Amino acid sequence: MTVSAFEEAKGKAKEATGSLTGSDDLREEGQAQQRKAEEERKAEDAQAEAEKHADRAEGHENAESRRQGS
């Protein structure tokens, strides 16, 4: 489980608890935690995509070096 998935689960639990107990503060805190988790997930996805592109670029660079005999 990623950090963002764990944070999202905690946020959902807080939101549900706040709804059941009538605590608007706890419900809103849970919603905010879920929004934060979504942004963290997007950042994790972007980092993974960037790493994938860096690996591809390195592969192209290595292939070009081999082609040139360097």
Instruction: Give per-residue pLDDT as tens, 19-56.
Output: 999 999 999 999 999 999 999 999 999 999 999 999 99
Bigger pLDDT: 65 or 26? Answer: 26
| 2 pLDDT higher than 90 | no
Contacting residues for 40 by C-beta, under 8 A, at least 6 apart: 3, 4, 7
**What domain count does the chain have?**
1
Mean pLDDT over 51-64 rounds to 89
User: pTM to 2 decimals?
Assistant: 0.72
pLDDT score, position 70: 59
Residue-range definition of the domain harbouring residue 44: 3-68
| 67 pLDDT higher than 90 | no
